[in-house]
Structure 1
Amino acid sequence: MPRNEEQNQELRDARKEQILQAALLVFARRGMVAAKISDIAKEAGLSHGLVYHYFTSKEEIFSTLVRTAANNSVGVIQQASEQIGTPLEKLHWMSEQILNGLSDERNTLLFLIMIQASTSDAIPDEVKEILTGVEAVSPVTCILPLIIEGQEFGEIISADPVSLAIAYYAFIQGLAVNKIQWPECPIPNAKLIMKIFEKDN
């Protein structure tokens, strides 16, 4: 029985996800510059030509992963902002979501992709646009309103909010990299990371 259009789309989506997951592993091991489409195809268990059917280049695959990682980071901040509670409680909720997510290899590898994208001189122009273009939205910028609100509320320390946001994400990225290097490592409780922000009563 022939597949209908909805089934065909589901198959296309599944194939793309299969390729992206394989690419995550390849980019993590080899970096974007050294990675080849043939490496990604082999990791995915697909033919070289089939990968090209879905993506025009490894640069397009890398850009797609960076966009996914950026959207995920901003998305969890937006969800946190919509939670009921004080600014610190919202930050605690967000930290729990992020730290729980580190048990998923895909999430930790997406952090690594973002680090590569932010530190490599050889990233595609599309990635530069995602990170620094007119419409770019960084997690540091997104979290600032919550930090400032928490300072005004009297529950977050009176330090430079940008520095606090940077310290927060350095902590998270460090945990993600550590999880990749040592998969069995314990992930700290969200209360620990809240010590960055919490004002002594």
Structure 2
Amino acid sequence: MQAGSPKWRRRSEARPGEIVQAALEVFAEKGFAAAKLDEIAAKAGVSKGALYLYFETKEDIFRAVVREAVAPNLDMVEAVLAREEPPFPDLMRGMFEHLSQVIETTRLGAVAKLVIGESRNFPELARVWHDEIVSRALTALSKALARAQMRGEVRTGDPRLQAFSLMGPILMGVIWQETFTPVGAPALNLRILILQHADTVLSGLKPRVGVRP
């Protein structure tokens, strides 16, 4: 097979994505500090030299993991939250349902744990996670809450702080599952936790009877 053939080009073009997926698995298993570039290269089926053709540092690889393997899961969430319909409670339940599927089927929780555990020594991890994940999610959710307040579906309050109230218990559940369950704590059904939390917090966000929203 000639190097310039379409099949070769497809393989070459696929390599950055293969490296990102391999890095995601290695980071999730080992953490950031303990992850070795040799391990990532081996898991991706490339040489360490080939890895450097696409990424200069381990931080660059992590940034690509967040942008290409994690952040795309937010695209649907942002699209859903930008809609004017359906009513806010239905919108939230749909978002929580999607979120539970993402947590169950991806390594999002492991990467979140990595960021929390290693950001003091590697502040760039926290910066990337905030800019690509946290900020996007909070902004989209805050805007949806502000619109719901204007329609009288949600009680008045700081939409950003309400967004924190919505997402906080979910993060706690993810941390529990990633940190404490492996050392013997009872496992959580994160899907049930998320959906039960949705019902609880949505009831609390309802406007007070007799009080203008």
What's the TM-score once normalised by structure 1's chain length?
0.74
Contact 2:174 2:190 (C-alpha < 8 Å) held by counterparts: no
Contact 1:73 1:139 (C-alpha < 8 Å) held by counterparts: yes
Question: Separation in 1 of the partners of 2:169 and 2:75?
Answer: 17
User: Between Structure 1 and Structure 2, how many residues are aligned?
Assistant: 197
Give the match for residue 128 of structure 1. Answer: 127
Task: Name stretches of at least 5 consecutive residues in structure 2 with no aligned partner.
Answer: none
The 5-angstrom pairing of residues 17-36 of structure 1 reads 17-36=17-36
Question: Separation in 1 of the partners of 2:144 and 2:38?
Answer: 44
Question: Separation in 1 of the partners of 2:177 and 2:2?
Answer: 44
Question: Separation in 2 of the partners of 1:95 and 1:9?
Answer: 40
Question: Separation in 1 of the partners of 2:116 and 2:147?
Answer: 28
Which of 112, 137, 140 is the equivalent residue of 1:139? Answer: 137
Q: Is residue 192 of structure 1 aligned with residue 190 of structure 2?
A: no
Larger Rg: 2
Give the match for residue 93 of structure 1. Answer: 94
Q: Aligned pair in 2 of structure 1 residues 120, 66: CA closer, same or farther (>3 Å)?
A: farther
Give the match for residue 150 of structure 2. Answer: 152
Q: Aligned pair in 2 of structure 1 residues 94, 114: CA closer, same or farther (>3 Å)?
A: farther
When the two chains are superposed, the root-mean-square deviation of aligned CA atoms in Å is 3.5
Give the match for residue 103 of structure 1. Answer: 104
- Kindly, what percent of the aligned residue pairs are identical? 24
Task: Name stretches of at least 5 consecutive residues in structure 1 with no aligned partner.
Answer: none
- The aligned amino acid for 2:86 is G
The 5-angstrom pairing of residues 65-84 of structure 1 reads 65-68=65-68, 69-73=70-74, 75-82=76-83, 84=85
